[in-house]
Amino acid sequence: GAGVSQSPSNKVTEKGKDVELRCDPISGHTALYWYRQSLGQGLEFLIYFQGNSAPDKSGLPSDRFSAERTGGSVSTLTIQRTQQEDSAVYLCASSLDLARSSYEQYFGPGTRLTVT
């Protein structure tokens, strides 16, 4: 079946502009995660959605970052007033209900964001 998809695959933006990154999780997966992969910081957790529960935003680096998940499926990560340090690969992952003891996270191909 189809895996996690993300768009765009690459995004170049000017410093100060807003960007939106999209994630389509695997059908039937109730949990959705955003991570960031950057040279200096490695892979970092950003935010997590599970069903209708309030998202866990504890990994968001600043209030310029926000995310939403509409209808329990597609998610959008928004970065306002982008800075050069926001340049990274943004990864989305999804998993089955966390009540299952052997959940695993399936990752998408990522969006490479470059802020000039």
Partner 1 sequence: AQSVSQHNHHVILSEAASLELGCNYSYGGTVNLFWYVQYPGQHLQLLLKYFSGDPLVKGIKGFEAEFIKSKFSFNLRKPSVQWSDTAEYFCAASLGSSYKLIFGSGTRLLVRP
Residues that bind partner 1 (CB under 8 A): 3, 31, 33, 35, 42-45, 48, 50, 56, 59, 91, 93, 95, 98, 101-110
**Closer of 80 and 96 to partner 1 (Cβ):** 96
Q: How far is the CB of 104 from partner 1 (least distance, A)?
A: 5
Question: 77 vs 91, which CB is nearer to partner 1?
Answer: 91
Nearest distance from residue 2's CB to partner 1, in Å? Answer: 13
Cα four-point dihedral sign 19, 88, 66, 108:
positive
Residues 6+ apart with CB under 8 A from 71: none
Query: Of 38 and 87, which CB lies nearer to partner 1 in the complex structure?
Result: 38
What the block records as the tokens of 103 is 């959940």
> Please, what is the minimum distance in Å from the beta carbon of residue 80 to partner 1?
23
CA distance 27 to 88: 26
- Tell me how far apart the alpha carbons of residues 103 and 95 are, in angstroms, rounded to a whole number: 6
